[in-house]
Structure 1
Amino acid sequence: MDTTTDKPAKATPAPSQATKRKANDSNTPTIQFTSRNPPWTYLKLQLIPQPGSSSTQPFDALSARTYLSSALSQYLGLTGTAIPIDILKVEGASSASDDTQPQNTSSSTGKNSFVWIRVPRDDGAAVVAALSSWISGGGGSGATFAWRICAKGNYLGALVAGSGRDLFVP
């Protein structure tokens, strides 16, 4: 008597869709891209008081805008005043929340007065030239100031050493 029977061979289960995706994901190359034409130029500026000048006015976004506009109009005329400037942050400024605290004397003299601005990339070179060659006339206050360009870059993250933390800290 023949005891052998025809048994069907065991079929191996097909890999599931999740297994297929994991295998494909590990072989997928990393996509890298380069932004060749960033739209903005970012600048970190410091307002420096000239030796022998004294000022008691506080440094805020409005006075920063005034000094920036003065430098651009002196260097480029009416064309310079048409350059859009976004003031991102003013350090050393007095604000309404700081009124209860004693005023920092270095912020009113411009010693630690920093401004972060953003300008269109095409106007970046003109803005740098205008700000680096400007010294305020002093006007009636007798205080004269100059801009110092601390940093310049096309990417804000790279300009603030990657983290960007000090840009938005109050």
Structure 2
Amino acid sequence: MSEATAPASQRSILEKSRLSKTHELLTCTIKTPPFSYIHLELLTNPPEAAAAVELDNLQVKSYCTAALRQFLGLTGTAIPLDVLKVEASECWIRVPRDDLGAFAAALTAWKGSSDGGVDFLLRVKQCSDWLGAMVGSHGQDELWNN
């Protein structure tokens, strides 16, 4: 059967398929992601000591556990956290989405740690349900200062 002799409904389908160059294979909407992400920064007092200190995974885990224990007790230490990346004095952490508020509150309320007359404190720089949004905005504060 040629296009000219096809019924009107089939002709409209043929026209649509000829005009469209792409086909949608799958549509997926994520309404509630399972994890949230936090970007932390290590601050020192006196600030000159920051150059000599470099974070590692164990220090980040230790500081976060201390903050959660102080704020929420044993319940706080049960919050699972994954250290995704540590770079110089900054780190990125993943926690379950429902625990983001408690985690951020614990780190904000934490008085920090002291070693050899130097005070250490983790500061929350950013937190989001979407890691891509945080990584994409990383360095924006330096954009206009250089």
Please say whether Structure 1 and Structure 2 have the same fold, judged by a TM-score greater than 0.5. yes
Which amino acid in 1 is paired with 2:125? C
Q: Hey, what does 2:104 align to over in structure 1?
A: 128
Higher strand share: 2
- Offset from partner CA, 1:37-72 (integer Å, 9 cap, x none): 110000100011123795866421111111111111
Tell me the equivalent position of 1:44. Answer: 39
Q: How does 1:134-153 map to 2 (within 5 A)?
A: 134-138=110-114, 141-153=116-128
State whether structure 2 residue 78 is matched by structure 1 residue 90: no
**Cα root mean square deviation, aligned:** 3.5
How many percent of aligned residue pairs carry the same amino acid?
Answer: 40
* Matching of residue 74 in structure 1 with residue 93 in structure 2: no
Q: Which runs of 5+ in 1 are unaligned?
A: 1-10, 15-19, 93-112, 164-170
Three-state SS of the structure 2 residue aligned to 1:135 is coil
Matched, 1:117 2:93: yes
More helix as a share of residues: 2
Change (3 A) 1:69 1:12: closer
1:35 pairs with 30, 36, 56, which one?
30
Cα deviation for residue 136 of structure 1 reads: 1.9
Secondary structure of the 2:125 match is strand
The SS at the match of 2:58 is helix
TM superposition shift of 1:131: 0.7
User: 1:52 & 1:152 partners in 2: Cα distance?
Assistant: 24
Counterpart residue number, 2:17 = 23
TM-score for the superposition, normalised by structure 1: 0.62
**Cα separation, partners in 2 of 1:13 and 1:80, compared to 1, 3 Å:** closer
> Which secondary structure does the structure 1 equivalent of 2:118 belong to?
coil
Amino acid at match of 1:119: V
Query: Equivalent residue of 2:86, what SS?
Result: strand
**How many angstroms apart in 1 are the aligned matches of 2:93 and 2:136?**
16
Q: Number of residues paired by the alignment? A: 129
Partner of 2:11: none
**Separation in 2, partners of 1:156, 1:52:** 29
Gaps of 5+ in 2: 5-13, 139-146
Alignment partner, residue 17 of structure 1: none
TM-score (norm 2): 0.71
